[in-house]
Amino acid sequence: MNIDLNRDRRAEERPSDDLDGNIPTKLTKEELLDLSALSPLRSTFHIVAEWTLILTAIFLCQRHFNFAVYLLAIAFIGARQHALLILMHDGVHYRLFRGRRLNDWTAEIVLAWPNLISARAYRRNHFAHHRYLNTAQDPDWSRRQGDLSWVFPMRLRRLAMLILRDASGLGAIFYLMLVRTLLSKDTGGSRGFLAARYGFYAGVILLFAWFGALHLLLMYWVVPLFTWLIVIFRIRSIAEHSAIEGHANAYAQTRSTGASVLAHIFVAPKNVNYHIEHHFYPSVPFYRLPQLHRVLMSKSDFKESVHVTRSYLGVLHECVRGSHSIFGMRPSRVEV
């Protein structure tokens, strides 16, 4: 995999020079080293736990099958697919394991490929997002320009229809467009890498076909991937960089969100809700983001400069035109 490890690690361990001056709070070197320390055992535990939860959900749904149980299984498995992608994201930042080869191939085979993503291609996209946050050179930001689905605030009915469209599976086209974009970045890879990746897909399909279980692959992997996971992506993408008014710099247009137990299970696993903290210090692995959040929140300049919303419902509240009268809610932003 033709990536300059030192160059890419430097790129992901600090923000771009253009945005560096907008960070309101700087950790000491000792604080950053402590928070950035890797725990391969914890990474392994989380990877094994997520796959175990997926297999358990499939087993229980098959054993007690009815429509309501199946819908719950779709949401639960879709959220676990999201958890695998968050773990892949840590691998993209070299945060899973100390050894590059183990880190990268685990991110690919165990976490990314099952979700139709290439971690090495996503790394290129994601590092550009970090370096050029919310500018024309940010691929995530530029993909949404001119798309009315990402213009906020919007009417409640339109937002509800977008979420229902995603839940129905019709929103899968946008995931496939992202996959296609990342696939185009695969072409720079070695023939061995491409053969391994597409051989993986062929092997999985042949294995399920051999055991007469292609219907299980469709029911318990493809359907969650193209329904609930798409819903999560929309809600999370809105929460991270959308519907934040009146701020000029890129970091002020980035949000962290509080998450309940249910939100952690079905929408925001692996502390992905601590998004602005991740942008400030991407060398901190996911399991130390709550600690990073507490450290930063103890500093008054951080509390006064960032946008933190109490909940994901609060995020949607901030997105909707006339939301105060519709929801009857108090302002959802907090400074605690």
- For 267, counting Cβ atoms within 10 Å of its Cβ (0-12 exposed, 13-18 middle, 19+ buried), the class is buried
The alpha carbons of the chain give a radius of gyration, in whole angstroms, of: 20
List Cβ neighbours of 47 (8 Å cut-off, separation of 6 or more): 84, 87, 106, 110, 111
Residues composing the chain: 336
Could you identify the residue written with the tokens 């969650």? 224
Question: Do residues 35 and 291 lie in contact, with contact meaning Cβ atoms separated by under 8 Å?
Answer: yes
pLDDT, tens digit, for every residue of 89-117?
Answer: 999 999 999 999 999 999 999 999 999 99
pLDDT at 188: 59
Mean pLDDT by 10 residues, the chain (336 residues): 39 40 70 94 98 98 96 98 97 96 96 93 89 85 83 89 91 74 65 90 96 96 95 92 68 84 96 93 95 87 79 90 48 44
Output the pLDDT for position 119.
92
d(CA 71, CA 61): 10
pLDDT of residue 89: 97
Q: Assess contact for 310 and 258: CB atoms under 8 A.
A: yes
**Residue 273, burial from CB neighbour count under 10 angstroms (0-12, 13-18, 19+):** buried
The per-residue pLDDT for 274 is: 95
Q: In angstroms, rounded to a whole number, what is the distance separating the alpha carbons of residues 278 and 283? A: 8
- Is 22:249 a contact under the CB 8 Å cutoff? yes
Please say whether the beta carbons of 277 and 284 come within 8 A.
yes
- Please tell me the pTM assigned to this model: 0.87
Is beta strand 307-309 parallel, antiparallel or unpaired with respect to 333-334?
A: antiparallel
Distance CA 70, CA 63 (A): 11
Is the Cβ–Cβ distance between 283 and 93 less than 8 Å? yes
Is residue 277 within 8 A of residue 287, CB to CB? The reply is no
Task: Count how many Cα atoms sit within 13 Å of the Cα of residue 83 in the half-sphere of its side chain.
Answer: 25
Tell me what pLDDT residue 23 has.
Answer: 60
pLDDT at 136: 85
From residue 310, how far is each of 105, 106, 135, 259, 332 by CA, in Å? 36, 34, 27, 7, 6
**Res 251: pLDDT:** 66
Q: Which residues contact 124 (CB under 8 A, 6 or more apart)?
A: 185
DSSP string, 272-332: TT-HHHHHH-TTS-GGGHHHHHHHHHTSHHHHTTSEEES-HHHHHHHHBTTHHHHH-----
Longest dimension (CA), the chain: 60
Tokens of 18: 């253009």
Nearest-angstrom CA–CA distance, 264 and 80: 11
pLDDT of residue 185: 63
- Rounded CA separation 189/162 (Å): 36
For residue 154, list its beta bridge partners.
320
